[in-house]
Amino acid sequence: MESELKDLTPKSSEPFPSDDDGSTKGDRPLLKPDSTTAAATAANSNTISQPNLEELEKKYAAYVRNDVYGVMGRGELPWMEKVLLGMALVTIVPLRVMAATTILVAYYLVCKVCTVCLVPNREDEQEDYAHMGGWRREVIVQVGRFLSRAMLFVLGFYWIDESYRNPFVDEKSNAETECKDQSEEPERPGAIVSNHVSYLDILYHMSSSFPSFVAKRSVAKLPLVGLISKCLGCVYVQRESKSSDFKGVSGVVNERVQEAHQNKLAPMMMLFPEGTTTNGDFLLPFKTGAFLSKTPVLPVILRYPYQRFSPAWDSISGVRHVIFLLCQFVNHIEVKRLPVYYPSQQEKDDPRLYADNVRRLMAREGNLTLSNIGLAEKRVYHAALNGLFVQQ
C-alpha cells in the first residue's frame, strides 16, 4: 500500500512548473527516468563518474542508502554477506513468506466475515467500513492490531523499543497547558503525524493504534489488501491527477480529522506529512494537509537501527527491498511518541507555521536533520541513479 501523502491544500506550494495538463513533473513514476532526462544524461556523458555520484549523494542526502548493500541495493557485497543471503534464501525466507501469506489471508477472512451483509460507507467517492460499530468493529480492530504485530515478528522485528516523551514541548506549550482547567479532560488528537521511512511504518501504526491512512485509489481494488484498506477506513487519492477530486479528498481528510478529534469512537487519521520516504536520518518539509483542521496532533518518530541492511525504503526497488528484508535474521525499530501537540491560535490561523513548528519539534526530539528537498528531487535522484546503472 502506498501511503505517500501529497499536500492536501488546494494550492500547491511546490516551486515546480506544471505541464499543460495541470500535472507537475513530480507526478512521474518513481524509478523510471523520462525520455528527456535519459537523453540529457546520454548527451552529457557515456557514464556517470564517481565524483558525479558523490555530488548526487551530497545533494540528495535524504535518499542515500548507507548500508552494506550500497546504492539502490546493488552494491558489491562482502563474501560473508553473500553467504548469509544464500543461507537465508533457502531457510528463513520460504518460512517467512508462508507465514506472512497466512497472516494476510487470515485477516482478509476476518474482514470478510465482519463485513458480510454490510453496505460500506460511501461519501465523496470514498468507500470504507471504518464507521461500523459494535462487535464487528471491535473484532476488526483487535485482530488487526494483533496480526499486524505478528507480521512484524515474522519480518524479524522481534522487539519494538518504544519510548514516551515527558509531557512538555516548549515554553509556549507549557504556558498553554497551565492555563487549561485541570479538571478538563485532555483533548483527543485528530491525527497522528509521523516521519515516513518505509512501508513498514504502516504495519507498526496498525499494531499500535490501528488508524486510517491516505492511500492511492488503486489500493482499494487490490486482492485481499483492498478489503483490508476499506476496513482501516483509508482515504483514497488519485495521485496522478490534480482535478477537482483533489479538493474533495482534502475535505474528506479534514472531516475525518475533525471527527476523530471530537468522537473517541471514530478512527484516528494517520498522516505522513513529508509526502514520501527518506533514509530515516532526515526530515523533509511538511505538507500542510494534516494541520488544516486546527486540531491537536500526536507526533510519532520512527527509526530503524541496522548493521547490514537498512529497512528504509529510499532509493531501492520494492522487490529488492522485500527480498533483502526477509533475508535479515533480525530487524530493529525504535519508536518515540511525543506528547499531543496543541496548536496556539497563531498556529491555527497559519497551517504552514503549525506544520513547521511540529516538524522542528520532531527533528529536535528525534535527532533528525532538516532537509529542504522533496518528492520531486527524489525522482530526479532516482532517474540519475537509473541512468548510472543502465550505462554501466
| Predicted TM-score of the model (pTM) | 0.80
Q: Is residue 327 very low, low, confident or very high in pLDDT (cuts 50, 70, 90)?
A: very high
Q: What local confidence, expressed as pLDDT, does residue 242 receive?
A: 53
Q: How remote is the C-alpha of 161 from its chain's centroid?
A: 19
Taking the C-alpha atoms of residue 319 and residue 331, their distance in angstroms, rounded to an integer, is 18
pLDDT at 123: 74
Q: What is the pLDDT of residue 269?
A: 93
**pLDDT at residue 9 greater than cutoff 70:** no
Q: In the chain, what percentage of residues exceed pLDDT 70?
A: 77
Residue/partner pairs of 373-377 with CB below 8 Å, 24 or more apart:
373/60, 373/62, 373/284, 374/14, 374/26, 374/274, 374/275, 374/276, 374/284, 374/285, 375/4, 375/6, 375/26, 375/275, 375/276, 376/14, 376/16, 376/24, 376/25, 376/26, 377/60
- What does the pLDDT read at residue 264? 86
Q: Is the pLDDT of residue 295 over 50?
A: yes
Residue 129 has pLDDT above 80, yes or no: yes
Largest pairwise CA distance in the chain:
70
Where residue 41 falls among pLDDT bands split at 50, 70, 90? very low
* pLDDT at position 374 over 60: yes
Stretch 4-12: mean pLDDT, rounded?
Answer: 42
pLDDT beyond 60 at 176: no
Instruction: Name the grid cell of 358.
Output: 511540529
CA distance 54 to 207: 39
Q: Is the pLDDT of residue 178 over 70?
A: no
For 214, list phi and psi in degrees, rounded to 5: -100, 130
Summarised one tens digit per residue, pLDDT across range 238-293 is 755 555 444 567 788 888 899 999 988 888 999 999 999 999 999 999 998 889 99
Distance CA 177, CA 225 (A): 41
Per the model's pLDDT, the better-predicted residue between 296 and 169 turns out to be 296
Residue 73, amino acid? G
Position 321 pLDDT exceeds 50 = yes
Tens digit of each residue's pLDDT (9 = 90 or more) over 189-240: 999 999 999 999 999 999 999 999 998 888 989 999 999 999 999 988 875 5
Residues 298-330 as b or e (16 or more Cβ within 10 Å = b): bbbbbbbebebbbbbbbbbeeeebbebbbbbee
- Residue 129 grid cell: 467500513
Are 272 and 195 contacting, i.e. CB atoms less than 8 angstroms apart?
A: yes
User: Can you tell me the distance from the alpha carbon of 290 to that of 295, in angstroms, rounded to the nearest whole number?
Assistant: 9
Distance CA 236, CA 167 (A): 34
The grid coordinates listed for 320 are 529488492
**Gap between the terminal Cα atoms of the chain:** 32
Q: Tell me, what DSSP letter sits at residue 269? A: E
